Amino acid sequence: MTTRTLLLLPGDGIGPEAMAEVRKIIAYMNAERGAGFTTDEGLVGGCAYDAHGAAISEGDMEKALAADAVLFGAVGGPKWDAVPYEVRPEAGLLRLRKDLKLFANLRPAICYPALASASSLKPELVEGLDILIVRELTGGVYFGEPKEIIDLGNGQKRGIDTQVYDTYEIERIAGVAFELARTRRNRVCSMEKRNVMKSGVLWNQVVTETHKRSYSDVQLDHMLADAGGMQLVRAPKQFDVIVTDNLFGDMLSDVAAMLTGSLGMLPSASLGAPDPKTGKRKALYEPVHGSAPDIAGKGIANPIAMIASFAMCLRYSFNLVEDADRLEQAIAEVLDSGIRTGDIMAEGCRQVGTAEMGDAILTAFRKHYA
């Protein structure tokens, strides 16, 4: 029988509640579909700091490096606001991204028909929305050196972050965007700030050259990132694939998330390069929403982004495309049936908690195999 190894890192806040709903789906797929998932578990974020004094332990890092895929919940919360910067909860996530070399972050923003009216935009602007943000994830200002606060000795300090991109980093993320565009509507929009930033000038050049060299069948446009943000809320359906750097991708993906009705809806996949020998990629799957400490522990969080992240895991790590399609359809069906968590609640719908939403999705998923 196939074995497929998963490391679960539920993390803090609503992470564990959302992860519990994915566990139910894994258990079903193992018991009745012979999926052969073996799961291990670890700590990341504030809970890891409490247990080990680090945002992720060396032991858990080793497990992450060895697993076929990592499922990640969320990290952070006010409890850890004062911990040293190096061991703050987010450092665990950033280390995972860096050490696993997960340079390609895929953030699809899909507006489920049933949720068009939950968006902050007019329903006609978001109905049928299907965009994919491809965010560079291991470079740019997130990791560039120097990164420090220095004392100028005159009563002033200076905070420094460094935005830096090398040719190969831009080439490989552009390649991912073009490849994915070919499986969709064949259009890529690249966003940077070439009018202000040297890294933006290089980004624009390298994307243009990569396109010319290997992907001229794909339609390529360029937009300044600020204008891109404006266009995302003005007419989001003009986009197919957006490719952008680490920081712009962070911001633009939160904007895109809200278009779909709720931050609680957006999954993501973070992928490394395929191993030249095995063809396998290291991968981590995480909901775009954070730990939402204000609602943690209440059983009311929306587990859909976490479940949809698992669907992306089925698709990209295990090539279980049909199962991924069915799980995504199950989510759409449950929403169509009027079941809602509080964040996406609408008139005439039935409000449920985290576990009931997870159960409803599992029931719908099972029906696809009946």
Contact residues: Mg ion, CB under 5 A:
250
Residue 142 a catalytic site member: yes
173 binds, among ligand IPM, Mg ion, none (CB under 5 to 8 A by kind): none
Q: Total residues at the site for ligand IPM (CB under 6 A)?
A: 4
Nearer to ligand IPM, 55 or 357 (CB): 55
The Cα–Cα gap between 181 and 156 comes to 48
The Cα–Cα gap between 65 and 56 comes to 13
Shortest Cβ distance from residue 83 to ligand IPM (Å)?
Answer: 14
17 binds, among Mg ion, ligand IPM, none (CB under 5 to 8 A by kind): none
Region class of 161: left (phi > 0), else alpha (psi between -120 and 50), else beta: beta
Q: Which of 142, 165, 215, 285 is catalytic?
A: 142
Shortest Cβ distance from residue 233 to ligand IPM (Å)?
Answer: 18
359 binds, among Mg ion, ligand IPM, none (CB under 5 to 8 A by kind): none
Burial class (CB in 10 A: 0-12, 13-18, 19+), 137: buried
Contact in structure between 37 and 15 (CB atoms under 8 Å): no
Binding string to ligand IPM for residues 266 to 305, with x set by CB under 6 A, is what? Answer: ----------------------x-----------------
Residue 201 has a CB neighbour count (10 Å cut-off) of 14
35 binds, among Mg ion, ligand IPM, none (CB under 5 to 8 A by kind): none
Q: What residues are paired with 150 via a beta bridge?
A: 158
Shortest Cβ distance from residue 312 to ligand IPM (Å)?
Answer: 14
Binning the chain into helix, strand and coil, the percentages to the nearest 5 are: 45, 20, 35
Which 3-state string (H, E, C) describes 146-163?
A: CCEEEECCCCCEEEECCC
Residue 151 a catalytic site member: no
Residue 193 a catalytic site member: yes
Shortest Cβ distance from residue 96 to ligand IPM (Å)?
Answer: 11
Residue 28 a catalytic site member: no
Q: Which of 12, 240, 250, 343 is catalytic?
A: 250
Only one residue has tokens 């049928």, namely 128
Q: Is 14 in the site for ligand IPM (CB under 6 A)?
A: no
Closest residue to ligand IPM in the complex (CB): 90
Backbone angles phi, psi at 302, to 5 degrees: -80, 115
Backbone angles phi, psi at 244, to 5 degrees: -155, 175
Q: Please report how many Cα atoms fall inside a 13 Å half-sphere around the Cα of residue 238, on the Cβ side.
A: 14
Residue 12 a catalytic site member: no
Shortest Cβ distance from residue 279 to ligand IPM (Å)?
Answer: 27
Contact in structure between 42 and 63 (CB atoms under 8 Å): yes
Rounded to the nearest angstrom, the gap between the alpha carbon of residue 24 and the centroid of all alpha carbons in its chain is 21
Exposure class string for 225-251: b at 16+ Cβ within 10 A, else e:
beebbebbeeebeebbbbbbbbbbbbe
Q: Is 250 in the site for ligand IPM (CB under 6 A)?
A: yes
Q: Which of 226, 280, 336, 367 is catalytic?
A: 226
Q: Is 136 in the site for ligand IPM (CB under 6 A)?
A: no
90 binds, among ligand IPM, Mg ion, none (CB under 5 to 8 A by kind): ligand IPM
339 binds, among ligand IPM, Mg ion, none (CB under 5 to 8 A by kind): none
Q: Is 90 in the site for ligand IPM (CB under 6 A)?
A: yes
Query: Please, what sign has the CA dihedral across residues 128, 304, 234, 190?
Result: negative
Shortest Cβ distance from residue 346 to Mg ion (Å)?
Answer: 26
Out of 19, 93, 110, 360, name the contact with ligand IPM by CB under 6 A.
93
Report, as residue numbers or ranges, the catalytic residues: 142, 193, 226, 250, 254
By CB under 6 A, name the binding residues for ligand IPM. Answer: 90, 93, 250, 288
